[in-house]
Structure 1
Amino acid sequence: MDCVKIGKLIAKLRKEKKLTQKNIADALGIQNKTVSKWECGLGCPDLSLWPELSAIFDIDIKQMMEGEITPNKPDGGNIDKIRFYVCPSCGNILFSTGSASIFCCGRKLERILPTDTNNAPKITVEEIETDYFVTFDHPMTKEHYISFVAYVKSDKVFFYRLYPEQSPTCRFPIITGGKLYVYCIKHGLLVYSNNLF
């Protein structure tokens, strides 16, 4: 570990949070001299303090230990590059429109890649007033259900979370030419072609 780099990062993060060395020391149950030594590069935090430091600064532990925060590249806003992520621990669903480091429950999440649509549930699309009404032929049991549906077009994402034993239906505004993304916990991420809409 590079104590000088880590110390500079701790000082920078502390100032960003508008905290004093005493605030950090009190939160960690240590003396403020210790925080001062870290910031001067004369030592590194004890291993047992890293999780609390990470929580105080809202920063990934690994990046803190490396002494530098790797920023994400600016999002170009290209909705065609949408990426979906599902946390294996809590089931949270996240998405980005470009490459990003996405974390949940302390883990870095990997992007879900679309799978073969041979096992895709059949869908029925009806136009009702100003919406598409989409129905999936899916059992929606606790062991096998659709977790989310997203309709993506231009600069918009219409997102629906679904749950076991819920009716497998959703509604989207009529916007032609979009892509429909469906995530089944058993079959993965499925993408339906534009000719359905």
Structure 2
Amino acid sequence: MNQYVTGDVIKEMRKQKHMTQLQLADHLGVTDKTVSKWENGKGYPDIALLEPIADAFQISVTELISGNRIKNENVSANMLRSKFYVCPICGNAVHAMGDAVIQCHGVQLLPEEAENSDENHMIFIERIEDEYYVRIDHEMTKLHYISFIAATSTDSIQMVKLYPEGNAEAHFKVSGIKKIFFYCNKDGLFSIDVVKGIDDREKSYDDTQERRELEKTADMLFSRN
């Protein structure tokens, strides 16, 4: 079992937030007995729970792992230094505001370096009212798929986990989103500015079907005369 955060840290942070074990458990979707085991050193939370735990304490994953709150630092600046860590064995992904020491399945994870999206990883972004609809033109087989899509602003992040044989798409609240990240299990992390993603979609928009419908309607009208 991998130790990312000690039970003492969880207990201390929980008490600082004046939360009971049951309240923390309800937030995480586990039992209070599970939280008690963590705090007593009889087990450790799964890596996938690091972000929810940090969210419950209103701190970053980096702060949770180190056990120290980051003081006198601008939160926006931290978010702009966001980094993603992905386990090559189980595929779990963790987001941290800056460098962090994270292990999974005995492997120390290194931060992923994002590349610009390319022709093999085309991403299309469309704004629909107060949401961005994000779609990636990519296969979703058990061997080759997109494992998550994340949207970052200067002070927040939204992350959607994807699964093989599902759809490579997600919806995000606009909320000042500046950049979209997504992870291919074979080719790694990619990113694109939201504005560029919208522009690319408009340039590649195929209106063939619309034109066919208009032509069909015109034929029907003229055939009646």
**TM-score normalised according to structure 2 size:** 0.53
Matched, 1:93 2:93: yes
Q: Which residues in structure 2 correspond to 1:79-158 (within 5 Å)? A: 79-158=79-158
Shift in Å, 1:169 = 1.0
Shift in Å, 1:152 = 0.3
Q: Which residues in structure 2 correspond to 1:28-39 (within 5 Å)? A: none
Report if aligned partners of 1:81, 1:98 keep a CA contact under 8 Å in 2.
yes
Alignment match, 1:165 = 165
Q: Supply the AA of the counterpart residue of 1:190.
A: F
Percentage of pairs with the same residue = 33
- Cα separation, partners in 2 of 1:126 and 1:104, compared to 1, 3 Å: same
Q: Supply the AA of the counterpart residue of 2:137.
A: D
Q: What CA distance in whole angstroms lies between the structure 1 residues aligned with 2:179 and 2:89?
A: 28
Q: Supply the AA of the counterpart residue of 1:130.
A: D
- Cα separation, partners in 2 of 1:191 and 1:120, compared to 1, 3 Å: farther
Q: What CA distance in whole angstroms lies between the structure 1 residues aligned with 2:166 and 2:134?
A: 14
Alignment match, 1:35 = none
Alignment match, 2:221 = none
Shift in Å, 1:148 = 0.6
Shift in Å, 1:127 = 2.1
Report if aligned partners of 2:85, 2:109 keep a CA contact under 8 Å in 1.
yes
The alignment covers a number of residue pairs equal to: 138
Alignment match, 2:208 = none
Report if aligned partners of 1:123, 1:134 keep a CA contact under 8 Å in 2.
yes
Report if aligned partners of 1:72, 1:100 keep a CA contact under 8 Å in 2.
no
Shift in Å, 1:72 = 7.3
Matched, 1:182 2:156: no
Q: What CA distance in whole angstroms lies between the structure 2 residues aligned with 1:57 and 1:166?
A: 32
Shift in Å, 1:129 = 2.7
Q: Supply the AA of the counterpart residue of 1:135.
A: R
Q: Structure 1, residues 125-144: CA drift from partner, whole Å, max 9, x if none?
A: 22223211111111111111
- Cα separation, partners in 2 of 1:106 and 1:173, compared to 1, 3 Å: same
Q: Structure 1, residues 54-77: CA drift from partner, whole Å, max 9, x if none?
A: x6697xxxxxxxxxxx95775444
Q: Secondary structure of the equivalent of 2:113?
A: coil
In the alignment, structure 2 segments of 5+ residues that lack a partner are: 1-5, 10-40, 45-64, 199-225
- Cα separation, partners in 2 of 1:163 and 1:189, compared to 1, 3 Å: same
Q: Which residues in structure 2 correspond to 1:22-61 (within 5 Å)? A: none
Report if aligned partners of 2:116, 2:192 keep a CA contact under 8 Å in 1.
no
Q: What CA distance in whole angstroms lies between the structure 2 residues aligned with 1:164 and 1:57?
A: 30
Shift in Å, 1:107 = 2.3
Q: What CA distance in whole angstroms lies between the structure 1 residues aligned with 2:150 and 2:124?
A: 16
In the alignment, structure 1 segments of 5+ residues that lack a partner are: 1-12, 17-54, 59-69
Report if aligned partners of 2:154, 2:176 keep a CA contact under 8 Å in 1.
no
Q: Secondary structure of the equivalent of 1:79?
A: helix
Q: Supply the AA of the counterpart residue of 2:135.
A: T
Q: Structure 1, residues 79-128: CA drift from partner, whole Å, max 9, x if none?
A: 01011011122221111001111121222211111135335522222222
Higher helix share: 2
- Cα separation, partners in 2 of 1:72 and 1:118, compared to 1, 3 Å: farther
Q: Secondary structure of the equivalent of 2:115?
A: coil
